[in-house]
Structure 1
């Protein structure tokens, strides 16, 4: 795996001129070789995530700004359900062939495009100012939590024990989502749901970032990118919903 020729990068919380790949370890017990390989893996994953986010922005903006596309999608409930189901079911073959190159990258591009359409449909329900506010807020939260996760991992603070609790909370949120289809909540209920969802995926972002730093296999760059990408997108959607509810109540 290529690590790159210039290995001098800014170190989180450290001196400006130190080589992070051969200096302080990413996690306790990592030697210089572990650091070099892991930094190469991390840069590869974040590079993929950056491409995914750019693609999502382009597709979502197309849906929001194109009235004919937006009208077609919003008026065909069956297509909305199909896109959602395909986005979920496509994760199965993506996981199975996550290490098979180049099929994994091709499947990832198709899946990201389809998922981005659903993101665009969600954004179309809100005013552009609210969408931009949620976007900037998400960027700030993601940056802060990512820096915290790197710092905590370097200090030996292991938060991966939260996995079972986070999974249980996620299942509860999914069940609550289906209940809302039958018993629509009021403004307070929708606000609480959005707030809890934002908190949940904030924790998931820290959890998955620690897995990225020290636990993911170096060949699992596709699945690592998907997990963090989904954390970011879900955080954005819940913040968007939360801001939208605040606007309606004001």
Structure 2
């Protein structure tokens, strides 16, 4: 079992890798948004859009499933690739929303994420049972989102965005506690520590990105 200092150092590594991925996503999105030809090439061609979507899905699923069986370098390359591909898709938000609302939403997301991270790390409450509820809620959210693609209800979209904010806010606390508990049951070897750090970074990266997107849909100001 790891000592408290080792667990704290591990969590620093988790947040370090997560921050690196977020920075790469943000830089990629901002760069592509200011390259009209590249932006047009990505979103005007269904073949390119679908290919990137499949690549994004494949990378995150592959990384989640193969992480214990691949080298840390390979896993890190996959994580970086996923962050960049996500940035390609997120470049569209600079076209849809005003810069001020994007920056404001990002700051709010950071604040909410930070508070829930601290709660998940320090709380004595067992959040294990919350995970099953949130998983089912997430499945319902995904199905409802697909349905709304055909229904095209703005009111329903607002409601889904509010539920998305709640789900990923709670998931942040749950995932932080889960990462901490996994670490507490590990032996102190560098390979295992590196793998759990990258696994935790991926989980929290997904929580942050989704929380940001649902907040942006809920409170972002669209361009005319």
Which of the pair is proportionally richer in helix?
Answer: 2
Residues in 2 aligned to 1:204 and 1:96: alpha-carbon distance in whole angstroms = 20
User: Which of 167, 181, 193 in structure 1 is aligned with 2:135?
Assistant: 167
TM-score, normalised with respect to structure 1 = 0.78
Partners of 1:199 and 1:122 lie apart in 2 by 21
> What is the CA-CA distance between 1:86 and the residue it aligns to?
1.5
TM-score norm. by structure 2 comes to: 0.87
Aligned partner (choices 31, 36, 43) of residue 67 of structure 1: 36
Of residues 54, 75, 95, the one that matches 1:104 is 75
Q: Among 192, 196, 219, which residue is 2:163 paired with?
A: 196
Is 1:205–2:172 an aligned residue pair? yes
Please report the RMSD computed on the Cα atoms of aligned residues, expressed in angstroms. Answer: 1.8
Describe the shift of the 1:132–1:170 C-alpha distance in structure 2 as closer, same or farther (beyond 3 A). same
Distance in 2 (CA, whole Å) between partners of 1:243 and 1:161 is: 30
Question: 3-state SS of the aligned residue for 2:157?
Answer: helix
Counterparts of 1:115 and 1:80, CA distance in 2:
12
Partner of 1:88: 57
Residue in structure 2 matching 1:133, options 91, 104, 118: 104
Which blocks of at least 5 consecutive residues in structure 1 are unaligned?
Answer: 1-29
Q: Please tell me whether the aligned partners of residues 120 and 175 of structure 2 are also in contact (alpha carbons under 8 angstroms).
A: no
Say if 2:113 is the partner of 1:142. yes
CA distance in 1, matches of 2:114, 2:65: 30
Q: List structure 1 segments (4+ residues) > 3 angstroms apart after TM superposition.
A: 216-219
Give the Å deviation of 1:150: 2.2
Query: How many Å separate the matches in 2 of 1:192 and 1:208?
Result: 24
Deviations 1:54-74 (A, max 9, x none): 101100111222222222222
Would you say the 8 A contact 1:73–1:121 is kept in 2?
no
Answer yes or no: is the 8 Å Cα contact 1:98–1:104 preserved in 2.
yes
What aligned pairs does 1:1-250 form with structure 2 within 5 A after superposition?
33-99=2-68, 100-152=71-123, 156-185=124-153, 187-216=154-183, 218=193, 219-244=195-220, 247=221
Structure 1 stretch displaced more, 233-242 or 208-217:
208-217
Residues in 2 aligned to 1:224 and 1:40: alpha-carbon distance in whole angstroms: 13
8 Å Cα contact 1:97-1:103 kept in structure 2: no
Match of 1:6 in 2: none
Report the more deviating stretch, 44-53 or 93-102. Answer: 93-102
CA contact (8 A) 1:59 1:120 kept: yes
Please say if residues 162 and 207 of structure 1, whose CA atoms lie closer than 8 Å, have aligned partners that are also in contact: yes
- Number of equivalences: 211
Cα distance, 1:123 vs structure 2: 4.0
Gaps of 5+ in 2: 187-192
Give, in angstroms, the shift of residue 140 of structure 1: 1.2
